[in-house]
Structure 1
Amino acid sequence: MRTQRRISFSTATIYAALTLFAAACLLPVLLTLMVSVTQEDSIVNNGYSLFPAAFSLDGYRTIFANGALIFRGYAVSIFVTAAGSLLALVVTALAAYTMSNPNVKYRHFLALYFFITMLFQGGLVPWYLMCTKLGLTSNILALIVPNLMFNAFNMFLVKNFMESLPSALRESAYIDGANDLRIAFRIYMPLCLPVLATVTLFYALAYWNDWFNAIMLLDDKKLYPLQYILFQLRSNIQMLEMLPTGANAAYTLPAESAKMATVVITIGPIVFLYPYLQRYFVKGLVIGSVKG
């Protein structure tokens, strides 16, 4: 006879609280989706609503008026995000392995050097001059290499995680004749999968949301990422709204619905990526923050 499992009052309370919290987190996403399919006049008259008075796809029509440009921007952003995140992850992991290796003579000095970059930056002009000298203009590398100089916070996160691993792993590998490169990729990287997944998500978000490099370093429309294309579109809509009344009186520009439509379009890939990394996210962030 199967016994039914009883749920205690405290457990039921926790489940109810988590359900309400999840609903509260989902509410802004649902509101954004509904506003993106709401007629502009309804938004102006009634404000944002989960139950719009009039549905309209004008916001999406405005965005996809030049569909080829949008889809090309999607392809560029996906490539830059995938390639940039992978390269940045490799650079960060190798730097973290070096910083965590007690056999590196000046590792504490190097750690201090990287830490200083978290407090001070060179400024926009030196950054731009360096990018132009390296030829990072009007090519796809302009969207990858400037952000490839890894974030010091991510490096320290991985470094602290690696320092929590037993040092006997490295010593036994040395005895077996393995060099540091093999130890890093064959032993430490698989064991550091939680924190590496966390850092990968950080880099993917940074690359996916980046439009600044495009506005500073690119002049070829074929290389524009999705975020910069949508940024230009929003700027054009805002400029048209500033025209004198009557210039666009025959058609109400879907400013608010287009704004929400851009959010829906841009969050898609990240929303699909996060579930695959979610199980590693908290573990990697917590252990990498407190160990070492």
Structure 2
Amino acid sequence: MKKKRFSLSTCLIYIFLTFFCLACLFPLLLTVIVSFTSEASIEKNGYSMFPEHFSLEAYKLLFQNSAVIFRAYTISIFITVVGTTLAIFITTMAAYTLSNNKVKYRNMIALYFFITTLFNGGIVPWYIMNHKLGLIDNIWALIIPTLMFSAFNMFLIRNFMDSLPNELRESAYIDGANDMRIAIQIYLPLCLPVIATVCLFYAIAYWNDWFNSIMLITNKDLYPVQYILFQIKSNLDALKAIPQNASLSFKLPVEAMKMAVVCLTIGPIVLLYPYLQRFFIKGLIIGSVKG
């Protein structure tokens, strides 16, 4: 069996990719390490990969009221799972409709969706609409306003569907299947790569959303984790701005707590991405070059 020989160019490519991966990983590792660093070490040496003293004080303070954090995590997980599921279903059904060449005026409908990527009504009409729909101080206020699907995601799925043979739909029609059955049983399984890609986009949007909480929620029991952590960071910035003679901010691990907040925020998404990574690149490339 002939052994594969490495050329100089191949070695250079591997070296470049290794350094590139390390460069991408470095900020994440630094964030985690700083979150476990004592405030005195940060003040003395700045951010360091090898701190003088490690400390759990930042996480102890964050979880001092652990019931609030865990409740916020529960709210965030619920709105992310439910919102992503509903958004994926609506986006996929809209994409299937616009990919069907038997639908009249489908290009005009697509233009209508495209216009929404260029213009929006503004915050005041958005708030009034949500108020009229009763989306104030309830769990649906964190789901439905973001549920109005992104036109970019819809076009991504539609372009992927356009790359599938139209004979699939015609054959299903001949066999007596309706459009709902064709979409769910034939097109959805074939579109898993692009659906997984869009699913990641929606999940990140729902998980990172704190704007809806500020605008539509006053009940503290409905605050998602992003808004709770946003409040913590704002309070830390306010404490740090206190004059030195008050010295209150120096009693708290301000910088370490900021990094701990980042770790708590990105953790679930970092864990989710590896499961969708094998679909991500394929779905993004195929969905973006067709049509």
Which TM class, normalised by the smaller chain length? over 0.9
Q: What is the Cα deviation at residue 230 of structure 1?
A: 0.4
In 2, the alpha carbon distance for the partners of 1:133 and 1:250 equals 43
What do the CA deviations read for 1:178-230 (whole angstroms, capped 9, x no partner)? 11101110111111111000000000000000000011111111111000000
Count residues with an aligned counterpart. 291
Q: Secondary structure of 1:238's match?
A: helix
What do the CA deviations read for 1:74-94 (whole angstroms, capped 9, x no partner)? 111111111111110000000
Further displaced range: 46-55 or 272-281: 46-55
Match of 1:254 in 2: 253
What do the CA deviations read for 1:81-128 (whole angstroms, capped 9, x no partner)? 111111100000000001111111011110000000000010000110
Q: Which amino acid aligns with 1:231?
A: F
Q: What is the Cα deviation at residue 250 of structure 1?
A: 8.8
What do the CA deviations read for 1:15-51 (whole angstroms, capped 9, x no partner)? 2221111111111111101111111122123211111
Q: Cα–Cα, structure 1 residues 241 and 250, in superposed 2: closer, same or farther, change >3 Å?
A: closer
Q: Which amino acid aligns with 2:244?
A: T
Give the TM-score normalised by structure 1.
Answer: 0.96
Match of 1:208 in 2: 207
What do the CA deviations read for 1:222-280 (whole angstroms, capped 9, x no partner)? 11100000001111122222334343459522221111101111111111110111011
Match of 1:188 in 2: 187
Instruction: Judge conservation of contact 1:241–1:253 (CA < 8 Å) in 2.
Output: no
In 2, the alpha carbon distance for the partners of 1:237 and 1:14 equals 44
In 2, the alpha carbon distance for the partners of 1:32 and 1:200 equals 27
Match of 2:280 in 1: 281
In 2, the alpha carbon distance for the partners of 1:100 and 1:3 equals 48
Any residues of structure 2 matched to 1:149-164 within 5 Å, and which?
Answer: 149-164=148-163
Instruction: Judge conservation of contact 2:79–2:143 (CA < 8 Å) in 1.
Output: yes
Q: Secondary structure of 1:147's match?
A: helix
In 2, the alpha carbon distance for the partners of 1:251 and 1:260 equals 16
Matched, 1:6 2:8: no
In 2, the alpha carbon distance for the partners of 1:265 and 1:6 equals 45
Extract unaligned runs of 5+ from structure 2: none
Further displaced range: 10-19 or 118-127: 10-19
In 2, the alpha carbon distance for the partners of 1:150 and 1:279 equals 24
Q: Percent identity?
A: 63
Extract unaligned runs of 5+ from structure 1: none
Q: What is the Cα deviation at residue 3 of structure 1?
A: 5.8
What do the CA deviations read for 1:119-143 (whole angstroms, capped 9, x no partner)? 0010000110111111111111011
Instruction: Judge conservation of contact 1:89–1:199 (CA < 8 Å) in 2.
Output: yes
Instruction: Judge conservation of contact 2:239–2:249 (CA < 8 Å) in 1.
Output: no
Match of 1:53 in 2: 52
